[in-house]
Amino acid sequence: MRTICFDFGNTRLKYAVFDNGELREEAVLDNDSAETIKALLERYHPQKTILSSVINHNTEIETLLAEKTTFHKLSNLSKLPFTTPVAKPSTIGADRLALCAAAVHLFPGKNNLVIGLGTCITYNFINKNKEFIGGSISPGMDMRFKSLQEFTAKLPLVKEDWNFPLIGYDTETNILSGVILGMAKEIDGIIDAYRERYDNLRVLLTGGNALYFVPHLKNEIFADVHLIFKGLYAISDCN
């Protein structure tokens, strides 16, 4: 059976194609028009589709997906492989639900901390009883770069570059060191705080830049840039 998982984030619109549980292809969509989605369906002929969206996407595509496939839109009302005993489950981002589902699927019976590197950094904790307790949110890398330029008079907008020194020698390398190493130390600090409270903790790191951050982290982590799609596929099976 073929399934297409859609992940509509603040920065990019992505999709992944699964054949009988195996991830076959991942790509970025140019837009969320009905024509774009229709062309995708005609290309892959999926039997099932699932959509995770944290943006105000084109709702016409939901009707199209429902007409052509067995469609599910991820929300707090979805059947999930974990519980969400939080104050306002309706406010949980769909992307965070997908990451939690992936953690429970890959590492059942463990305390899991899933860290998503995107527009924001999300820290998502699911305990060994499969309960999503919550976590925290902080600015992501691009947001940090942009804020330095936007809220100062003279600092430039710097683009990510992984070849930088600990001690910056000009404005650009100072910013690169501050932002990227600052994020790495933040991530390590949060992990340490969780390890002090919970034993048998598995830490999962995902997002487009996840693999670049691994060398800068002292903690042992499981890095997988496809984690959100694996979670979406697991949820599509539940629904």
Active site residues: 95
Distance CA 141, CA 209 (A): 9
* Contacts (Cβ under 8 Å, ≥6 apart) of 53: 6, 8, 73, 74, 94
Going by DSSP bridges, is the β-strand pair 111-117/222-223 parallel, antiparallel, or unpaired? unpaired
Interior CA angle at 199 toward 221 and 192, to 5°? Answer: 55
* Contacts (Cβ under 8 Å, ≥6 apart) of 196: none
φ/ψ bin of 195: left (φ > 0), alpha (ψ from -120 to 50), beta (otherwise):
alpha
SS3 161: coil
Radius of gyration of the chain measured on its C-alpha atoms: 19
Residues pairing with 223 in the sheet: 205
